């Protein structure tokens, strides 16, 4: 497989402008002749669909939920970065670029990250123009807040619902185009295959989630913006419909999958309380500004927190990292919480929690000040946990929150399959081995509003694509294959439910591919996942019929893909014997037990290529070249 | 509150896809942790039904943290359950007592057809937004974000309205199945902001017409919508919408 990043040459600062100038353009009258399929209505897919239609292309847009407004972008809380320098604290595009590439532990492409930083300010302007009510100062201008990994205030926010407001802005633009006829909207659809004709992506196969019908749709290009695959871990902060299925189908049709092992674990989430639990809820990173994290010094100490005297508490982050204390980066905080619990010092019913204690801050500043800062989060916590965090320390634990890995794309956001593009959370491009807070929203909108609309034109203008419609044999074959797979699934009639097997997969993923990974564990994971996959195909129970609204079947085929993908994730983690960002290999740590990169051997993107059923996937490497930043090892002591 | 385990009798609306009628079925929810959410309780019941070879209860959901607006059922007569300011997915089983009987039905309205069991079709909401619930803006032509100052108070008001999650509880709770609260929330959000003013009249007319065409009822000031809204959207938005609509009607260029 040829991995050509297609990054233009020349100085970093002018690459994108020169590239846009050089790109071949499709003239307005011809745009109408092109059909583009966009899968996903999150920030990435929704903004792409709306913008392409506005330019004159004919767009077909698909999503799983009943309305495009419900994509999981809606759940983002904290904010979106830009380099506006409104607070006058010296921010710049250069600064935003540098923080993002360093935050990613030097495992992202310089040119992509620079372009992202360049687009950031346009994103804010456009969002405001579409009606996003970002927070304002009393003077009427925009307010900014600080986020992890940056020394400036550059984050725009709309209360604790930034993702919701951004997505509603996108949804407005998309709705306008649907009303005008530029976008044909297909909600409640699951894209389950990509159709290739003459080497190019020319359509998709989907299941209508209401009727169960299998449908074919053809186009001149296909764009996947299907979000993250976090739910391979079963429990995560992702929505319940998170899946890898569309990207996995693309992988099998020649689109390489990059860095699947890069996962982000967020340290402050509401804890798991029982095996019936279906998802995890994030508690914003900002809480660590005032909350102190601790566990009892003695293992097995199950006194209530107010009964544990000061000198029998271990404020382990403050002890180990005196200069950063409770504000160490996400990966460091997460690993240390796990360590404390592994030592038997975890708290709560399950022993899988640590305290996040605000009593000192309340003593110092008063309850009102704390309420003004974090009131909505405290209330959210109270709703779920039924405990008042003003009185009792929060119990928190790390949870799977984001995946940096995804479908490999070049500078045009095109995959290794011609005519197949991938945007937003679904691609691998901009966050390296660790994503900084408030940068995923920025990436989704950059890809959809400001990158793809140009680069896809460059592709379409230089192709001579034959007329293809859904009566083409490639569609018939793909439909047949999918029907066979679904029938097989419907006819197993085994003894275990889909959720039951998914929970077992999640358990292996979390144990062996979670916060700390090692050679033996990863090998074991690969074996266990493959055995579980076999059991699934013999012992799962999917009730009802396939030609109906059937949520068990939906979960079933998503899990079938996760059972294959989980193995690739473990394999990637096994191969990358260095630690970097969110990927911590126990074999590769500094003397102080911090993640240790191996730039000599691993300064590359791992792009996995499908080799056929039952065959080992092929590893391709895209070397990462750094011409503008110097690679350094992180330290937070 | 200490975690307890409770048993419940569920009376659940079951309706096959494509059929006009459904009926209430009775199921037992056994050994449910009071720390579980309402939807997790339904997951447990569904797993149990699956093992018995009975098709699980279909219901919509996605984020399970009160923001996507996908969940929604009428629980014991209340849209999203009785707890105030709470979506169904945020409702927890500690609000129920051992031995309770719980009635679970879909959101009902002429404009929301039942798809299956507890799942309804709310695409009418999308149609209303398509008829004007946006600001026309090209990606690339926007002026600097700070060009229009917006006072802190106005921004707060706009944000209060913008918090609507499009769940449809207001419609299900209204005796007339009116969509006024939903529509007024969007009209207010955009009309309060300077960048939303140029299209304000056209927007109000378009959205109200679409609302009527979709078969939603009229508002007769019952205030049930406000009481059931999980995001506490205020009915003062309806007054603002009426003002926008009336002035739009007067200024005929917007027609
Ligand atoms: C709780 C939480 C808080 C977060 N907070 C922040 C934050 O403060 N700042 C920040 O920058 N980032 C944050 N993030 C990350 C950020 O929200 C996401 O990375 C980003 O929104 C992803 O956008 P997307 O458009 O790529 O995908 P999504 O918004 O997930 O959209 C995916 C779309 O694809 C569709 N889809 C998926 N699979 C299929 C299929 N097979 N067939 C058809 N359609 C399909 C879905 O229906 C949906 O429309 C947060 C994430 C979470 C979970
Ligand atoms: S106004 Fe309230 S109840 Fe109605 S759709 Fe919006 S959030 Fe739901
Ligand atoms: S599932 Fe998203 S609001 Fe309830």
Mean pLDDT over residues A453-465, rounded? 97
Q: Is the pLDDT of residue B253 over 80?
A: no
pLDDT of residue B254: 42
- Other C-beta atoms closer than 10 Å to the C-beta of A389 total 24
Mean pLDDT over residues A252-273, rounded? 95
Each residue's pLDDT tens digit, B119-173? 999 999 999 999 999 999 999 889 999 999 999 999 999 999 999 999 999 999 9
Tokens coding B140 = 């690339």
pLDDT of residue A370: 85
**Enzyme catalytic residues of A:** 330
Quote the percentage of chain A above a pLDDT of 70. 99
Instruction: Tell me the backbone φ, ψ of residue A58, rounded to 5 degrees.
Output: -95, 120
**Which B-chain residues 31-50 have CB contacts (< 8 A) with chain A?**
33, 35-37, 39-40, 43-44, 47, 49-50
> Which CATH number is A498's domain given?
1.20.58.100
Query: Which residue bears the tokens 């609309």?
Result: A453
**Which B-chain residues 91-120 have CB contacts (< 8 A) with chain A?**
92, 94, 115-116, 119
For Cα atoms A269, A368, A142, give the angle at the middle one, nearest 5 degrees. 75
Assigned superfamily of B123-250: Alpha-helical ferredoxin (1.10.1060.10)
The answer to whether the Cβ–Cβ distance between B55 and A386 falls below 8 Å is no
Each residue's pLDDT tens digit, A114-137? 999 999 999 999 999 999 999 999
End residue of a domain, out of A400, A426, A456: A400
| Averaged pLDDT of chain A | 95
pLDDT of residue A416: 98
Residue at A393 is within a domain = yes
**Residue A547 · residue A211 · CB < 8 Å:** yes
> Which CATH number is A329's domain given?
3.90.700.10
Q: Higher pLDDT residue, A102 or A123? A: A123
* Nearest beta carbon to residue B43 from set A127, A380, A499: A499
Q: Is the pLDDT of residue A42 over 80?
A: yes
The answer to whether the Cβ–Cβ distance between B40 and A273 falls below 8 Å is no
Q: Give the integer Cα–Cα distance in Å for A192 and A190.
A: 6
Q: Measure Cα distances from A277 to A319, A322, B44 in Å.
A: 33, 36, 10
DSSP label at residue A497: -
Q: Give the integer Cα–Cα distance in Å for B236 and A55.
A: 38
Task: Give the ligand with the smallest distance to the CA of A239.
Answer: 1
Q: Give the integer Cα–Cα distance in Å for A88 and A43.
A: 28
- Give chain A positions within 8 Å (CB) of B53: 543
Q: Give the integer Cα–Cα distance in Å for A470 and A478.
A: 11
pLDDT of residue A243: 98
Residue at A348 is within a domain = yes
For the CA of A423, the closest atom of ligand 1 is 26
Distance from CA of B47 to the nearest CA of A (A): 7
Within this chain, do residues A497 and A578 fall inside the same structural domain, yes or no? yes
Question: Looking at beta carbons, which pairs linking A524-530 to residues 24 or more positions away fall under 8 Å?
Answer: A525/A566, A525/A570, A526/A567, A526/A570, A526/A571, A526/A574, A529/A505, A529/A563, A529/A566, A529/A567, A529/A570, A530/A567
Mean pLDDT over residues A232-245, rounded? 97
Q: Higher pLDDT residue, B24 or A386? A: B24
The answer to whether the Cβ–Cβ distance between B65 and A541 falls below 8 Å is no
Q: Is the pLDDT of residue B251 over 70?
A: no
Structural domain span for residue A396:
265-400
Secondary structure of B52-78 in HEC code, one letter for each residue: CCCCCCCCCCCCCCCCCCCCCCEECCE
pLDDT of residue A152: 86
**ipTM given for this complex:** 0.97
Mean pLDDT over residues A340-346, rounded? 95
Strands of A221-224's sheet, edge to edge? A183-186, A58-62, A35-39, A221-224, A420-422
pLDDT of residue B221: 93
**Residue B123 · residue A186 · CB < 8 Å:** no
A210 to chain B: nearest residue by CA? B115
β pairing state of A145-146 and A257-258: unpaired
Mean pLDDT over residues A86-106, rounded? 95
Residue at A315 is within a domain = yes
Please tell me whether the overall predicted TM-score, pTM, comes out greater than 0.95 for this model: yes
pLDDT of residue A377: 80
Tokens coding A256 = 């390489």
pLDDT of residue B2: 83
For the CA of A240, the closest atom of ligand 3 is 1
Q: Measure Cα distances from A368 to A365, A372, A373, B164 in Å.
A: 8, 6, 9, 27
> Quick one: how many helices (H) and strands (E) in chain A?
18, 20
Q: Which of A14-18, A182-186, B243-247 shows the lowest per-residue confidence on average (mean pLDDT)?
A: B243-247
β pairing state of B23-33 and B5-14: antiparallel
Each residue's pLDDT tens digit, B39-78? 999 999 999 999 999 999 999 999 999 999 999 999 999 9
DSSP label at residue A543: -
pLDDT band at A453 (very low <50, low <70, confident <90, very high): very high
pLDDT band at A149 (very low <50, low <70, confident <90, very high): low
pLDDT of residue B241: 95
Beta bridge mates, A142? A136
Query: Which residue bears the tokens 């309850």?
Result: A367
Q: Would you say how long chain B is, in residues?
A: 255
Residue at A311 is within a domain = yes
Question: Does the structural domain B5-115 have CATH classification 3.10.20.30?
Answer: yes
pLDDT of residue A170: 98
Within this chain, do residues A363 and A487 fall inside the same structural domain, yes or no? no
**Residue A251 · residue A43 · CB < 8 Å:** no
pLDDT of residue B255: 42
CB neighbour list of residue B148: distance below 8 Å, 6 or more residues apart: B193, B194, B195
Q: Give the integer Cα–Cα distance in Å for A180 and A25.
A: 24
Secondary structure of chain B in HEC code, one letter for each residue: CCCCEEEEEEEEEECCCCCCCCEEEEEEEEEEECCCEHHHHHHHHHHHHHHCCCCCCCCCCCCCCCCCCCCCCEECCEECCCCCCCCHHHCEHHHCCCCCEEEEECCCECCEEEEECCEEECHHHHHHHHCCCCCCCCCCCCCCCCCCCCCHHHHHHHHHHHCCCCCCHHHHHCCCCECHHHHHHHHHHHHCCHHHCCCHHHHHHHHHHHHHHCCCECCCCCCHHHHHCCCCCCCHHHHHHHHHHHHHHHCHHHC
DSSP label at residue A209: T
Q: Is the pLDDT of residue A239 over 90?
A: yes
- Can you give the residue ranges of every domain in chain B? 5-115, 123-250
**Residue A441 · residue A114 · CB < 8 Å:** no
Query: How many folded domains does chain A comprise?
Result: 2
Residue at A165 is within a domain = no
Q: Is the pLDDT of residue A591 over 80?
A: yes
Within this chain, do residues A269 and A396 fall inside the same structural domain, yes or no? yes
């Amino acid at each position: 497989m040829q991995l050509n990043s297609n990054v233009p040459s020349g100085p970093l600062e002018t690459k994108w402008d020169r590239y846009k100038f050089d790109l071949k353009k499709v003239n307005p009258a011809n745009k109408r002749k092109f059909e583009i399929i966009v899968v996903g209505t999150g920030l990435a897919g929704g903004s792409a669909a709306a913008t392409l239609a506005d330019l004159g292309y004919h767009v077909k847009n698909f999503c799983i939920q009943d309305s495009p407004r419900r994509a999981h972008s809606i759940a983002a809380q904290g904010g979106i970065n830009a380099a506006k320098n409104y607070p006058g604290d010296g921010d710049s595009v250069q600064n935003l670029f540098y923080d993002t590439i360093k935050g990613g532990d030097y495992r992202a492409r310089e040119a992509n990250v620079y372009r992202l930083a360049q687009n950031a300010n346009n994103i804010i302007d456009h969002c405001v123009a579409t009606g996003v009510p970002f927070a304002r100062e009393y003077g009427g201008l925009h307010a900014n807040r600080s986020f992890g990994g940056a020394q400036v205030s550059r984050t725009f926010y709309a209360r604790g619902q930034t993702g919701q407001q951004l997505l509603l802005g996108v949804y407005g633009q998309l709705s306008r185009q649907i009303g005008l006829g530029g976008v044909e909207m297909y909600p409640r659809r699951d894209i389950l295959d990509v159709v290739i004709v003459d080497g190019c992506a020319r359509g998709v196969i989907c299941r209508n989630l209401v009727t169960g019908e299998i449908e074919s749709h053809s186009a001149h290009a296909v764009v996947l913006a299907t979000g993250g695959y976090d739910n391979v871990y079963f429990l995560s902060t992702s929505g319940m419909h998170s899946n890898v299925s569309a990207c996995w189908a693309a992988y099998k049709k020649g689109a390489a999958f990059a860095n699947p092992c890069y996962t982000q674990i967020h340290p402050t989430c509401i804890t798991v309380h029982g095996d019936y639990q279906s998802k995890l809820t994030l508690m914003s990173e900002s809480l660590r500004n005032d909350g102190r994290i601790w566990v009892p010094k003695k293992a097995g100490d199950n006194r209530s927190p107010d009964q544990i005297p000061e000198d029998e508490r271990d404020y382990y982050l403050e002890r180990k990292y005196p200069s950063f204390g409770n504000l160490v980066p996400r990966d460091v905080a997460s690993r240390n919480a796990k360590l404390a619990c592994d030592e038997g010092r975890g708290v709560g019913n399950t022993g899988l929690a640590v305290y996040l204690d605000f009593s000192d801050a309340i003593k110092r500043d008063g309850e009102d000040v704390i309420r003004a800062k974090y009131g909505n989060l405290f209330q959210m916590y109270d709703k779920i946990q039924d405990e008042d965090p003003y009185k009792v320390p929060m119990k928190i634990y790390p949870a799977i929150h984001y995946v940096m890995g995804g479908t490999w794309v070049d500078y045009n956001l095109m995959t290794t399959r011609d005519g197949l593009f991938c945007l937003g959370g679904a691609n691998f491009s901009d966050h390296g081995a660790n994503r900084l807070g408030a940068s995923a929203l920025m990436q989704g909108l950059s890809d959809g509003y400001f990158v793809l609309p140009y680069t896809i034109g460059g592709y379409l203008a230089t192709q001579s694509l034959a007329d293809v419609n859904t009566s083409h044999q490639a569609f018939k074959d793909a439909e047949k294959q999918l029907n066979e797979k679904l029938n097989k699934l419907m006819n197993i009639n085994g003894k275990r439910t889909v959720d039951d097997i998914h929970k077992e997969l999640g358990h292996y993923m979390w144990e062996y591919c979670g916060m700390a990974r090692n050679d033996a564990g990863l090998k074991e994971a690969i074996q266990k996942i493959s055995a579980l996959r076999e059991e699934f195909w013999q012992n799962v129970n999917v009730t009802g019929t396939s030609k109906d609204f059937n949520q068990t079947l939906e979960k079933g085929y998503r899990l079938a893909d996760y059972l294959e993908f989980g193995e690739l994730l473990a394999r990637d983690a096994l191969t990358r014997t260095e630690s970097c960002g969110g990927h911590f290999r126990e074999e590769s740590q500094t003397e102080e037990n911090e993640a240790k990169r191996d730039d000599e051997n691993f300064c590359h993107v791992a792009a996995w290529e499908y080799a056929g059923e039952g065959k080992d996937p092929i590893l391709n490497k895209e070397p990462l070249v750094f011409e503008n930043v110097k690679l350094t090892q992180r330290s937070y002591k | 509150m200490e975690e307890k385990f409770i048993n419940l009798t569920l009376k659940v609306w079951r309706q096959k896809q494509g059929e006009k009628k459904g009926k209430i079925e009775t199921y037992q929810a056994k050994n449910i942790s009071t720390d579980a959410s309402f939807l997790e309780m339904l997951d447990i019941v569904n797993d149990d039904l699956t093992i018995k070879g009975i098709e699980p209860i279909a219901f919509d959901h996605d984020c399970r943290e009160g923001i996507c607006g996908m969940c929604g059922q009428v629980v014991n007569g209340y849209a999203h359950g009785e707890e105030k300011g709470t979506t169904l997915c945020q409702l927890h089983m500690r609000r129920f007592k051992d031995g309770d009987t719980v009635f679970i039905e879909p959101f009902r309205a002429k404009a929301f057809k039942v798809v299956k069991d507890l799942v309804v079709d709310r695409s009418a909401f999308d149609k209303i937004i398509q008829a004007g619930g946006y600001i026309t803006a090209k990606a690339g032509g926007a002026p600097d974000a700070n060009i229009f100052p917006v006072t802190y108070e106005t921004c707060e008001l706009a944000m209060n309205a913008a918090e609507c999650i499009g769940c449809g509880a207001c419609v299900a709770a209204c005796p007339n199945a009116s969509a006024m609260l939903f529509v007024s929330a969007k009209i207010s959000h955009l009309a309060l902001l300077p960048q939303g003013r140029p299209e304000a009249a056209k927007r109000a007319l378009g959205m109200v017409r679409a609302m009527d065409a979709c078969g939603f009822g009229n508002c007769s000031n019952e205030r049930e919508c406000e009481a059931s809204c999980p995001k506490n959207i205020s009915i003062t938005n309806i007054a603002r919408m009426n003002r926008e609509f009336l002035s739009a009607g007067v200024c005929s260029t917007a027609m």
